[in-house]
Amino acid sequence: MKRETQDKKYRYEEIHDRMMRMVAKGVYRPGERMPSIRELSRSMGVSLNTVKQAYLLLEDQRIIESRPQSGYYVRPRGFDLPRQPDFSGPDLSPVQIPSAHISSQILSHAADPGMVPFGAAIPADECIPAAKLSSIMASQCRRQLHDSTAYSMPPGHVRLRVQIARRLTLAGCDVDPDEILITTGACEAVFLALKTLCRPGDTLAIGSPVYFNFLDMFRELSLKILEIPSSPETGLCLDTLETTLTSQKPAACLVISNFNNPLGVSLTDTKKEEMVRILARHKVPLVEDDINGDLSFVNVRPSVARAWDKRGEVLLCGSFSKTLAPGYRVGWLAGGRFREQAFRLKMMVSLASASPTQLAVAEFLHSGGYEHHLRHIRRIYANKTAAMADAIHRCFPAGTRITKPEGGFTLWVEMPEAVDSMVLYEKAMAQGISIAPGSLFSTTSHFRHYVRLNAAAWSDRNAWALETLGKMARTLMDSS
């Protein structure tokens, strides 16, 4: 009986994913009618209710809409994707990173109850399984008096490393648990990976735009950077990467491969494989940040570039900060052939990560609630992301373009060029609204009129804040 329920559940999600792909491929185009619930039920041999559930989800995600007495239609996509500024070319040269005090301000806003947290990419409170985690934490600490209080020396608790290795099979890789190093969030994982690969003064190739806190990190590591342009539709430009590697010799390359921060885009399997091949040819190791990989809106876990790595030169970074609890600070690094250096570095930097949170996350993964939890929050984020994009489209100046991510929970918004996002940031902050101005995501000035918004913080209660932002942006246009 239980089994049958699970099968049904799986089918409704399968139908959802299949229809979503068909819309994405243009089999059904904006304005066209979708197959009726009855038709689909018959052709796929499932109950009416199963199809209804799939359609409701697609409706939640603003992919289809129901018209009374008429059926379901593919919604018109009312806004364009942000453009990819063209800043590739033969003049690409390593750049020093200017200091940015603002990024730490934005991160601090995340913990400030007086701010609407559209800035930092923090998960929604309702997506944190706090009660379950706390109960697991309590039982783990009581049962494991020694392990919860003693050092968990690098590489970290084996039970957690085994669970992570198991999950990585879903992303197409076969990683030895002994290669995995537990870190204080993905942030420390990336920090350790870069510190393992680069010396001060070295050059790092990065997908651009990039998560602003990383730019600050690169500066602290005294790295120069080469920004390889990435498109919100296809991700990293491999041609530019290839050209750049021929003329420059970066010590490493850093890419956020799935549900990119800020672009929302994932590299296709073909591009991931090609990227790994290009980097291997030039003997440049890759730091792959997969922090959002578990947050695909369709219930299929995307692959990681690491799956095509044959040389141990893709250092894969992940964390449970976006899916379970950011405050647990449980991240990890699969350091490939650099694992030993990474372990030693971890000892020098912070000796070990906290033990109780490692035990609690391991138990959460082990007890089997994680996949169920993911299915739950993926739907919420799909919904929030679509709803916020709609609202931006309504409130922001004409000509605003918005990404349509397929996972994660951030939106990358291109406003008309007259809007300086730094000015918008200051004005918004004065009204208790935190945003992440585009200027912070690059050393170039290409993203001055962009802004990244945290859709996890979207709710009807926060609609006023978005309207205020839109009004401000329009005022900035008029006054320019």
Closest distance to a copy of itself from the beta carbon of 163 (Å): 18
Q: Which pair of tokens denotes residue 452?
A: 């990244």
CB of residue 51 vs a copy of itself: minimum separation in angstroms?
Answer: 36
Closest CB 93 distance from a copy of itself, rounded Å: 22
Judged by CB, which is closer to a copy of itself: 19, or 128?
Answer: 128
| Secondary structure string (H, E, C) spanning the chain | CHHHHHHHHHHHHHHHHHHHHHHHHCCCCCCCECCCHHHHHHHHCCCHHHHHHHHHHHHHCCCEEEECCCEEEECCCCCCCCCCCCCCCCCCCCECCCCCCHHHHHHHHCCCCCCEECCCCCCCHHHCCHHHHHHHHHHHHHHCHHHHHCCCCCCCCHHHHHHHHHHHHHCCCCCCHHHEEEEEHHHHHHHHHHHHHCCCCCEEEEEECCCHHHHHHHHHCCCEEEEEEEECCCEECHHHHHHHHHHCCCCEEEEECCCCCCCCCCCCHHHHHHHHHHHHHCCCCEEEECCCCCCECCCCCCCCHHHHCCCCCEEEEEECCCCCCHHHCEEEEECHHHHHHHHHHHHHHHCCCCHHHHHHHHHHHHCCHHHHHHHHHHHHHHHHHHHHHHHHHHHCCCCCEECCCCECCEEEEECCCCCCHHHHHHHHHHCCEECEEHHHHCCCCCCCCEEEEEHHHCCHHHHHHHHHHHHHHHHHHHCC
Which region, judged by CB under 8 A, interacts with a copy of itself, from 67-75, 187-195, 303-311, 375-383? Answer: 187-195
Residue 480 as a binder of a copy of itself (CB under 8 A): the answer is no
Query: If 0-12 CB within 10 Å is exposed, 13-18 middle and 19+ buried, where does residue 281 land?
Result: exposed
User: Residue 27, interface with a copy of itself (CB under 8 A)?
Assistant: no
Which of 61, 88, 148, 163 contacts a copy of itself by CB under 8 A? 148
Per-residue contact flags (x/-) with a copy of itself for residues 90 to 129, judged by CB under 8 A:
-----------x-xx--xx-xx----------x--x--x-
When binding is defined by CB under 8 A, the residue of 30, 76, 78, 200 that contacts a copy of itself is 200
Which of 1-9, 74-82, 214-222, 300-308 is the region at the interface with a copy of itself (rule: CB under 8 A)?
214-222
Cα–Cα distance for residue pair 453/439, rounded to 1 Å:
13
The mark string for 153-172 relative to a copy of itself (x by CB under 8 A, - otherwise) is xx------------------
Taking CB under 8 A as the criterion, the residue among 217, 286, 317, 473 binding a copy of itself is: 217
Decide whether 133 or 305 has the Cβ nearer to a copy of itself.
133
Q: How far is the CB of 238 from a copy of itself (least distance, A)?
A: 29
Least distance between a copy of itself and beta carbon 180 (Å): 16
Residues forming a β-bridge with 331: 183, 319
Site string for a copy of itself, 314-353 (x = CB under 8 A): ----------xxxxxx-------------xxx-xxxxxxx
Rounded least distance, CB 161 to a copy of itself, Å: 13
Tokens of residue 257, six digits: 């491969």
Q: Is 300 in the site for a copy of itself (CB under 8 A)?
A: no
Among 43, 66, 135, 480, the residue binding a copy of itself under the rule CB under 8 A is 135
Please report whether residue 149 would count as binding a copy of itself according to CB under 8 A. yes
Distance in Å, CB of 313 to a copy of itself, minimum: 21
Q: Among 22, 95, 141, 251, indicate the residue that binds a copy of itself (CB under 8 A).
A: 141
Partnered with residue 208 across adjacent β-strands are 229
Quick one: which of 17, 216, 289, 363 contacts a copy of itself (CB under 8 A)? 216
Which residue among 43, 134, 246, 480 contacts a copy of itself (CB under 8 A)?
134
Question: Which member of 17, 188, 309, 363 binds a copy of itself (CB under 8 A)?
Answer: 188
Residue ranges that bind a copy of itself, judged by CB under 8 A: 101, 103-104, 107-108, 110-111, 122, 125, 128, 130-131, 133-135, 137-138, 141-142, 145-154, 183-185, 187-188, 191, 195, 199-200, 213, 216-217, 220, 222, 324-329, 343-345, 347-357, 360
